[in-house]
Structure 1
Amino acid sequence: MTPQESRSSSQIGVKRLLSENFSCTFFNSNPQVWDSSFKKHEKLVGEVMELFEKSLKKPKCITEYPLTLDDTIKGKADIVCEDADGYVYIVEVKSTQIHRVRFQDLLQLMLYVYMYSMNKGVPLDRIKAYLVYRYVNIRELKVSPYIIHITGDIKRTLLNIVQYIADRQKTVSSGINKTGNRSLYIVTDLCKICINNNCPFKAS
């Protein structure tokens, strides 16, 4: 195994890290639902990237931008753009509708912002963070992206939280902080697409 492969195997993905800390550990996804969501996600990413490319000054945009942090955390931001003025735009796109905003989605976006800042040495105030959901206009039967700019006190608070999560994961990976496996059934909006028939909430 090469040093690069060793580092990769010891890293935990952003989504998995947040899932292990905030989601139901017994969630079992429906492959058909996931496939449909993936197609919606890819389409929305393309639409959102086009919007940013049209609105920014001489932008350079990349999808599936790879990020790592201290050889412990890895992930891919949906869209990362840089403009001519030196600002960076990090965009996390969700295939779900706007009324299904999750705290975990905000943390995922902010982990990407923090990781980018640490990797590139870009000050956090030069990085703009956006979360995108699907908005369905019932009257016009039209689906469009709903873009949320995360800024101000909310951004600062979320960055404090993800820095704590990243620091804690570093101690877990190094063996300083050993934690047991968390096994909890948690009721979330994902329950409707979960196919784990052993769940006590489904049986009730």
Structure 2
Amino acid sequence: MNLLWSILVLNIVFRAIGVVSAEVTTNSPTESVSVSQSTAESAEVTTKSPTTESAEVTTKSPTTESAEVTTKSPTTETAQVTTKSPKKEEKKDEMDKLNDKINAELEKIVSKHGSDCSGNSEFSAYLVKIREAIKKDKTHIEEKFDLKSDFEAYDRLRITLEQQIDFRIVAIKSMLPFFDPSSSCYQFYLKQKETLTNSKKLTNEQKQQHLVENSNDCPNTDDNDSDYDYIY
């Protein structure tokens, strides 16, 4: 009886041990499955890490940063260049316009007085200088304006002196009929007239000198006296 009881107990113990081992064997695969899940998770990490992060790097680095460089650099800097450049061009245009203006004024002088300078060396020299100045570029604008100013001053004095010479010649012509052609005063005034007429081709300084020297009245009242000094 005791033997049977012992066998029964052992049988129960063996069965219990078999159940435990079965549970262990069944639970083990699940844990291994969870391990495999952890492997999957690690796989997910691997896939996430190189895929998303590297993708972000690739998209951010070449796309956004390089795009910012390309948009900022050529857009702003070149825009500044293009805004400053027209200002320089405007200044350049103003200089060109000013040069064209002074050239037109000088050309007008040449066309107006080209025929008036015949035989007048000083007048001709001014016109030669003006023609040469017209050919020069805009870097000689100041020189051109100075030349125009000098010529206008010269021309005003020239016109004034020639008008005074003409007045004196008219006065002499009006006096000649009152003298006998053989008289000394007639010859005196006749020489004055010739001298003043020829002086119109001289320089302004020579015009002034001749005008002063030939504006005097005949000093001799004796028509028989022919010894007079005349100014030429």
Q: What is the TM-score of this pair, normalised by structure 2?
A: 0.20
The structure with more helix, counted as a fraction of residues: 2
| Greater RCO, CA 8 A, separation 6+ | 1
Greater radius of gyration (CA) = 2
TM superposition score normalised by structure 1: 0.22
Greater strand proportion = 1
